[in-house]
C-alpha cells in the first residue's frame, strides 16, 4: 500500500458510505438527507478528479463497487421520479396511459 493511494482509498470508502446513505434516504424519501448525500458526493468527486493513475487493485475494486452502487441509486431515483410523475398526473387529471404523440401501433386496414 502506497502513501499516495491511502487518501484515494479512504475517499472511495467515504463515497461508498455516502451512496449507501443516499440509497437509504431514497427509500425513506428523506429529501434533506438526499440533498446532503448529493453535496457530499460532489465534494468527494472533486477530490477524486485526476487521480486515476494511482489506482491499485483494492482501489479498482472499490471504484467498481462505487460505480455499481451509483447505478443502483440512479435507477431508484428514476423509478421514484416516474412514480411521482404518475401520481401528479393522476391528481391533475392528465393521466394518459399512452403518449398521444405516437402513431398507433395497429391501424385499421382499408377495405
What is the pTM assigned to this prediction? 0.73
pLDDT tens, 35-89?
999 999 999 998 888 776 667 889 889 999 999 999 999 999 999 999 989 988 8
Q: Which single residue is written with the C-alpha cell 471504484?
A: 63
Q: Is the dihedral of CA 69, 73, 78, 82 positive or negative?
A: positive
pLDDT at site 94: 78
pLDDT at site 52: 64
Q: Sketch the domain layout of the chain as residue ranges.
A: 5-92
**What value does the mean pLDDT take over residues 20-27?**
95
pLDDT at site 107: 46
Q: Which residues of 68-105 are buried (b: 16+ CB within 10 A; e: fewer)?
A: ebbeebeeeeeeeeeeeeeeeeeeeeeeeeeeeeeeee
Amino acid at each position: 500500500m502506497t502513501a499516495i493511494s491511502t487518501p484515494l482509498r479512504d475517499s472511495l470508502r467515504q463515497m461508498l458510505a455516502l451512496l449507501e446513505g443516499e440509497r437509504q434516504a431514497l427509500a425513506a424519501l428523506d429529501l434533506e438527507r438526499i440533498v446532503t448525500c448529493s453535496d457530499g458526493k460532489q465534494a468527494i468527486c472533486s477530490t477524486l478528479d485526476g487521480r486515476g493513475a494511482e489506482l491499485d487493485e483494492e482501489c479498482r475494486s472499490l471504484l467498481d463497487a462505487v460505480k455499481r452502487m451509483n447505478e443502483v441509486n440512479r435507477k431508484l431515483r428514476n423509478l421514484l421520479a416516474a412514480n411521482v410523475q404518475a401520481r401528479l398526473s393522476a391528481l391533475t387529471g392528465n393521466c394518459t396511459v399512452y403518449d398521444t404523440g405516437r402513431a398507433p401501433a395497429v391501424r385499421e386496414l382499408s377495405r
